[in-house]
C-alpha cells in the first residue's frame, strides 16, 4: 500500500511540475531542472542524516531557524514580502503570512531554482479573506534566488531587502541544505 501511495505521489508531483511551467535548463543557468526532477522521480531529494524536524522564521529578525529535536542546527538570513509588517490578508498585499504551516510539496522551479511550498492559505486564512470580500492569495513558498542570481554573487544585495510577493527567500546554498533536509509535512512557523 505504501509503495502504491508513493508511486501515485511521485506521478502527481511530476504532472504538477509539468503544469507549473518547469522547462528545460537555460544555457549557462545553474538551475538544473532536469537534475531536480530526476532526484524527485528517484526519491533522492532527501537525506535522513540531514533531516530537520521544523522550520521557524522570525520576520522581525529576518532569519530562519532549522531544528532537529529541540536543537537549532542552522540559521539562515531571509528576505520576506515587500510589505513585511503583519500577516498576509489578500492576494497582492506583498505580506508574508504568519502562523503555523507545513511543507506540502517540493517544487523544481525555473524561476527560483528550488522551492518548498507551504500550506497557505489555511481554512482560517480563506475564511478571513472571504469575510473581507478578498482573495487570500496563495502559492507561498520558501524559495531560492531568482535566475539572475544563480551564481550567488547577488546574495548580499537580495538579502539586504525584502523583495518577494509574500514568500520567504533564502540563498541557493541554503536551499540546497533545506532541500535535502526536508520532507513533506515538516512544520513551518512564521512569526
pLDDT at res. 175: 94
pLDDT at res. 31: 67
pLDDT at res. 34: 84
**Per-residue pLDDT tens listing for the chain (191 residues):** 555 544 444 444 434 333 333 333 333 345 677 888 888 888 888 899 999 999 999 999 999 999 999 999 999 999 999 999 999 999 999 999 999 999 999 998 888 889 999 999 999 999 999 999 999 999 999 999 998 888 899 999 999 999 999 999 999 999 999 999 999 999 999 99
DSSP per residue, 104-131: EEEEEETTTEEEEEE-PSPHHHHHHHHH
Q: In what order do the strands lie in the sheet with 63-68?
A: 71-77, 63-68, 54-58, 187-190, 99-109, 113-118, 141-143, 168-169
Number of domains in the chain: 1
- How many CB atoms neighbour CB 35 within 10 A? 12
149 phi/psi in degrees, rounded to 5:
-110, 30
pLDDT at res. 43: 83
CA distance 85 to 81: 9
CATH number for the domain spanning 62: value is 2.40.440.10
pLDDT at res. 37: 85
pLDDT at res. 4: 55
Which of 75, 61, 54, 72 shows the shortest CA–CA distance to 189?
Answer: 54
Domain that holds residue 51: 2-190
Amino acid at each position: 500500500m505504501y509503495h502504491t501511495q508513493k508511486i501515485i505521489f511521485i506521478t502527481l508531483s511530476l504532472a504538477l511540475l509539468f503544469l507549473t511551467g518547469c522547462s528545460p535548463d537555460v544555457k549557462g543557468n545553474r538551475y538544473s531542472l532536469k537534475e531536480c526532477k530526476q532526484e524527485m522521480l528517484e526519491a533522492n531529494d532527501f537525506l535522513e542524516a540531514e533531516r530537520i524536524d521544523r522550520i521557524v522564521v522570525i520576520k522581525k529578525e529576518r532569519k530562519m531557524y532549522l531544528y532537529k529535536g529541540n536543537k537549532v542546527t542552522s540559521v539562515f538570513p531571509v528576505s520576506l514580502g515587500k510589505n513585511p509588517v503583519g500577516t498576509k490578508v489578500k492576494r497582492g498585499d506583498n505580506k508574508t503570512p504568519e502562523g503555523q504551516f507545513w511543507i506540502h510539496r517540493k517544487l523544481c522551479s525555473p524561476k527560483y531554482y528550488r522551492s518548498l511550498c507551504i500550506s497557505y492559505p489555511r481554512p482560517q486564512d480563506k475564511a478571513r479573506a472571504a469575510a473581507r470580500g478578498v482573495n487570500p492569495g496563495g502559492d507561498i513558498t520558501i524559495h531560492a534566488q531568482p535566475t539572475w542570481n544563480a551564481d550567488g554573487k547577488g546574495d548580499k544585495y537580495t538579502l539586504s531587502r525584502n523583495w518577494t510577493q509574500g514568500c520567504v527567500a533564502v540563498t541557493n546554498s541554503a536551499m540546497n541544505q533545506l532541500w535535502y533536509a526536508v520532507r513533506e509535512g515538516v512544520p513551518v512557523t512564521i512569526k
